[in-house]
Amino acid sequence: MAEMFCVKCKEKKTVPDDQTTLEKTAKGRNMLRAICPTCGTKMTKFTK
């Protein structure tokens, strides 16, 4: 499970791991992407 912040709901959402996508930015940082289960907004979060 990943905890991510939805800017539209203005609250934290818990997203199952199988609904998140891990991407790498051009600077080599890992970024987690997910869709808010409540409103469908894209959420992103930097990870270590």
Contacting positions for Zn ion (CB under 5 A): 6, 8-9, 36, 38-39, 41
Whole-number minimum distance, CB 44 to Zn ion, in Å? 13
Whole-number minimum distance, CB 8 to Zn ion, in Å? 4
Calpha distance 7→28 (Å, rounded) = 24
Q: Please state, as a whole number, how many other Cβ atoms lie within 10 Å of the Cβ of residue 15.
A: 20
Nearer to Zn ion, 10 or 48 (CB): 10
**Joined tokens for residue 5:** 């912040």
Whole-number minimum distance, CB 15 to Zn ion, in Å? 11
